[in-house]
Amino acid sequence: MRRYNPFYFIGQAFEGLFRNGVMSFASIAVLTSLLVVIGGFTLLVTNIDVNLDEFGLINQIVVFCDPNASDEQIATIGEAIGKLDNIESVQHVTKEEGLEQMKAEYDIYDDVDEANNPLPDSFVITYLENEKVPNLDYQLNQIEGIAKVNNRLDLATKIEGFKRGVMLVFVWFLVILGVVSIFIIINTIKLSVFSRRNEISIMQYVGATGWFISLPYIIEGAVIGIVSSVAAYFIEWYIYSYIEEMVITDLQMISILQFTDIRGYVFWGFVGLGIITGVLGSIISLARYLRQ
């Protein structure tokens, strides 16, 4: 029966980490930066999306009917909208529903009731493509009984553009930092392997398998990944709380996710990414032994 001692592999991994302390530290520093940047951008993009959702800016047009339109006319308007191009869904918001929504959001409307409801019926249209909105806008204006088409395309496009810009910078950062991280981890592990080349050659002579030889280094890579992800988590937490505080006090119109609500995603996301990067770096530098 074969039995391997797990502490052997873990012990070897830590020995390697400390033996080449400077390189290990460099790996951890770079990987931590990578994770903080990835986390930062992801949180930024997520928050932009949350705000877009909240403002109803994502692919939505609201049309208001003539306040004097009869129920029949309104039904006709709804049908007419449904027949147009580039429409994903149409939702009818009656004047009563509209009022309820208003009341829920702003308490200054408390004294308004159904009798003196100033709101017209409206339709919330979710469309498919931004490019075709001017056309849709025009067609909506042609429908009889529609008083106003609330088209926030300009703002939506601007925010979309900003988001796209952020994503572009993000992708480049990701690529560059990712390559640098993997490169440094590869070299850290190579150094670790090199300083033990004699031991490895003895292990090969006595019949150690590639996995037996490589496992300590794979664990070493994983430990680099875990340490980096924990460090990145606390750094991200600190930075995000600072921004959160700023947004809450100075930019009340913008909503921001609370870190406490997303900490789990951040933490496990970092740990996962960190381990994958660390282990990948190890495996690349060990390919020779693993094949053998």
Partner 1 sequence: MIDFVNVKKAYPNGTMALKGIDLHIDEGEFVFVCGPSGAGKSTLMKLLLREERISSGKLTVGEYDLSELSNVRVPYYRRELGVVFQDFRLFPKKTVFENVAFAMEVVGTPKSLIARRVPAILNTVNLNGKQDSFPNEISGGEQQRVALARALANNPKVIIADEPTGNIDPKMSLEIMSLLIKINKLGKTVIVVTHEKDLVDYYKQRVVMLDNGLIVEDRVGGMFNAQV
Which residues of this protein are in contact with partner 1, per CB under 8 A?
1-5, 8, 198-199, 201-210, 212, 291-292
Neighbours of 239 (CB within 10 A): 15
Cβ proximity to partner 1: between 109 and 212 the closer is 212
CB of 221 to partner 1, least distance (A): 21
Cβ proximity to partner 1: between 17 and 52 the closer is 17
CB of 228 to partner 1, least distance (A): 29
Cβ proximity to partner 1: between 1 and 108 the closer is 1
Cα angle vertex 14, ends 8, 19, to 5°? 120
CB of 219 to partner 1, least distance (A): 16
User: Could you tell me how far CA 214 lies from the centroid of its own chain?
Assistant: 34
CA distance 224 to 17: 8
CB of 160 to partner 1, least distance (A): 52
Cβ proximity to partner 1: between 9 and 123 the closer is 9
CB of 281 to partner 1, least distance (A): 23
Here the contacts of 89-93 (C-beta below 8 Å, separation 24 or greater) are 89/125, 89/126, 90/123, 90/124, 90/125, 90/126, 91/123, 91/124, 91/125, 91/126, 92/121, 92/122, 92/123, 93/121, 93/122, 93/123, 93/124
Residue pair 218/283 in contact (Cβ under 8 Å)? The answer is yes
Cβ proximity to partner 1: between 20 and 181 the closer is 20
